[in-house]
Amino acid sequence: MKSIEGNFEEKKVNELLLKHFKELRSVSPANSCHVLDINGLKKDNIKFWSLWENDQLVGCGALKFLDENHGELKSIRIADNFKKKNYGKKIIEHLIIEAKKLKINKLSLETGAGDFFKPARKLFKKCGFILCEPFAEYKEDVDSCYMTLNI
């Protein structure tokens, strides 16, 4: 698996992200949908990776810097043909490795609290994330679940 940082021009990556945005917006109340669009993922405080196996896009994920030691995982998505093959865990592990390289010692995330997001919550727990209080600009929200990991 190779990592391509910042490659937003790739048509396959844009298609995967657009599918991700559309799906999350369809299952989340508008005031509880915290997905970043492509422009949001291009900001200076975001690092983005797309992961590939040969010429096939496996998935993507991003790290948002909240401060010099605290990062937030964003836009983790697996391409349909790689789902249920342990690639979600591989992408999260990749993001953790990259966060360590960047001297981040705490990662947090927000995901949905509904049934649609149950597999994501299970995966994050499997990767060592635990429930936490809202962080950064997030507020208490019955439709959101907050998790964190000290690395």
Asked if 14 contacts 8 with a C-beta cutoff of 8 angstroms, the reply is yes
Question: pLDDT class for 8, splitting at 50, 70, 90?
Answer: very low
pLDDT surpasses 50 at 9: no
pLDDT for residue 135 is more than 60? yes
Q: What pLDDT, in 10s, does the model give residues 67-85?
A: 999 999 998 999 989 988 9
> Beta-strand (E) ranges in 42-140?
46-53, 56-65, 70-78, 106-112, 130-131
Model confidence over 10-64: pLDDT tens digits? 678 878 877 766 766 565 556 665 566 677 778 899 999 988 888 889 999 999 9
Between 125 and 52, the higher pLDDT residue: 125
Write down the domain spans for the chain.
2-107
Q: Where are the extended beta strands (E) located within 88-143?
A: 106-112, 130-131
Instruction: Name the strands in the sheet holding 56-65, side by side, starting at the edge strand that comes first in the sequence.
Output: 2-5, 46-53, 56-65, 70-78, 106-112, 144-150, 130-131
Give percent of the chain with pLDDT exceeding 70. 81
Q: Do 130 and 147 contact (CB within 8 A), yes or no?
A: yes
What is the distance of C-alpha 34 from the center of its chain?
11
Q: Which superfamily does 2-107 belong to?
A: Gcn5-related N-acetyltransferase (GNAT) (3.40.630.30)
pLDDT at site 122 = 97
